[in-house]
Structure 1
Amino acid sequence: MTETTDLMIELRAVAKSFGTGAGAVHALQGIDLAVPRGELLAVRGRSGSGKTTMLHVAGGLDDADEGEVRVDGVDVRALDEAGRLRLRREHVAYVFQSFGLVLELTAAENVSVPLRLTRTDPGERDRRVAEVLERVGLGPHARQTPRQLSGGQQQRVSLARALVGEPAVLLADEPTGQLDSETAREVMTLIVQLVRERGMTAVVTTHDPMIVAYADRVLELVDGRLHATEPLPA
């Protein structure tokens, strides 16, 4: 069993509901999750199974109703809003299925947003933005806006923006959900490479059976409850 000191993400008996009474939706029901440092975990499940809610709770975007949430040993639920903002700004990065790009900004400007928030020196900021755009194969597209890019390219910009701050944790919510199969493979291959090279911990949600083949471990989320899955065939 992995020692607690080796864990990057810990959820213990986490519950989260939306609404009250008979109409309440129990998105998470007693979730227990332990993700070691450097692991690429895939969490699969149908739409509405609670995948997005689990990521939001794990990364401090939303608060659980019950249970314990820790990131790198930090009690996330004990943090005030400023503390959670700092956690997200300095340690946790998100990749959203809908890309989440600012349409009026260029690819480089979108990627630079996290570094502007941390007031990174402009010279260092420009260097890191250019480096990560090259890493995701978008160096020649740095001055283009999202409207001038394909869906796959927009997702690469989103990934570059998540990685430019060199986060310890990457949370990706169905990052290939709007991509064709070939582009999805390219994006997942890139995520795997970056996780391995940088030693990040990554949790990727998906309902695509093809994507889970890239993960170190796969869990299934059904009606707000996590279940282990059988090992994938080699």
Structure 2
Amino acid sequence: MTDALRLRGVCKTFGSGERAVHALRDLDLDVARGEMVAVRGRSGSGKTTMLHVIGALESLDAGSVTVEGRDVGALDEEGRLALRRDVVAYVFQSFGLIPELTAEENVSIPLRLRRMPPRERDRRVADILEEVGLGPHTRQTPRQLSGGQHQRVSLARALVAQPAVLLADEPTGQLDSETSAEIVALIRSTIAARSMTALLTTHDPVIVGYADRALELTDGHLSDASTPTAGRPRATVRRIVGGVSPETDGDS
């Protein structure tokens, strides 16, 4: 396997002087193609900023980010748009659905941006909605769907354009435990079927249990989620065998 994501010395600071917030500090990370990696951390630890930097939603102060061979920092605005349209897809905690649109209309947005022919677009949308278990709900709006169904629509929208990398920011943060388990299992199975790479931030031990590797983000540094930090953390992490780790527990 080769790396889908590579971060080297990434720094991101918001504000200046005494009020400066150092969201990411000299952060290194490698994620191989086909891996599902979970990143834990307290609120405000820099998890969302890390995803935004990878997906070209935030600029870097220092360091480098490479996504599927593309140097994100070297991309112009058109290149960043192309990265988000063709290579990277997001799943958000807040779902990010347009309330006036049906499930199939929400899912079709990435394909409309690509100007995909209507017949191919409609087939692709119907297939992915069926795959995530929403075949009977294609014409319903978000107001007519449950929270778990919202996230299934969000996942379908992320996958419909067949991206190489999935970035998910607290994808189960607004779901109950049973629904969370269903969504995480669905994410695991769908990315495995497509040999996609996934990086998920979470407080949810269920996600950690399904991931291939687990990391902890603390004060802008990544470390092994199962090993206490000693000095500067290393982004060397344990591999979870068989999808479930005996070391998995909740956030401390």
- Settle same-fold status: TM greater than 0.5: yes
The percentage of aligned residue pairs carrying the same residue is: 67
Q: Which amino acid aligns with 1:233?
A: P
Q: Which amino acid aligns with 1:92?
A: V
Give the C-alpha shift of residue 229 in structure 1.
Answer: 2.3
Instruction: Report the counterpart of residue 226 of structure 1 in structure 2.
Output: 222
Asked if residue 36 in structure 1 is aligned to residue 32 in structure 2, the reply is yes
After TM superposition, list the pairs within 5 Å mapping 1:138-153 onto structure 2: 138-153=134-149
Give the C-alpha shift of residue 217 in structure 1.
Answer: 0.2
Output the TM-score relative to the length of structure 2.
0.90
Structure of higher RCO (CA pairs closer than 8 Å, 6+ residues apart): 1
After TM superposition, list the pairs within 5 Å mapping 1:66-215 onto structure 2: 66-215=62-211
Structure 1 residues 115-168: Cα deviation after superposition (integer angstroms, max 9, x where no partner): 000001100000000000000000111111111111110010000000000000
Give the C-alpha shift of residue 62 in structure 1.
Answer: 1.0
SS at match of 2:205: coil
Rounded to whole Å, the distance in 2 between the matches of 1:186 and 1:158 is: 14
Instruction: Report the counterpart of residue 20 of structure 1 in structure 2.
Output: 16
Give the C-alpha shift of residue 179 in structure 1.
Answer: 0.2
Give the C-alpha shift of residue 210 in structure 1.
Answer: 2.5
Rounded to whole Å, the distance in 1 between the matches of 2:74 and 2:202 is: 29
Rounded to whole Å, the distance in 2 between the matches of 1:198 and 1:151 is: 25
Structure 1 residues 77-123: Cα deviation after superposition (integer angstroms, max 9, x where no partner): 00001100001100100000000000110000000000000001100
SS at match of 2:58: coil
Q: Contact between 2:184 and 2:206, CA under 8 Å: does it hold in 1?
A: no
Unaligned runs of 5+ in 1: none
Q: Which runs of 4+ in 1 moved over 4 A?
A: none
Rounded to whole Å, the distance in 1 between the matches of 2:165 and 2:96 is: 18
Q: Contact between 2:39 and 2:202, CA under 8 Å: does it hold in 1?
A: yes
Unaligned runs of 5+ in 2: 227-237, 239-244, 248-252
Rounded to whole Å, the distance in 1 between the matches of 2:186 and 2:25 is: 33
Q: Which amino acid aligns with 2:175?
A: L
Query: Which stretch of structure 1 is more off in the superposition, 222-231 or 181-190?
Result: 222-231
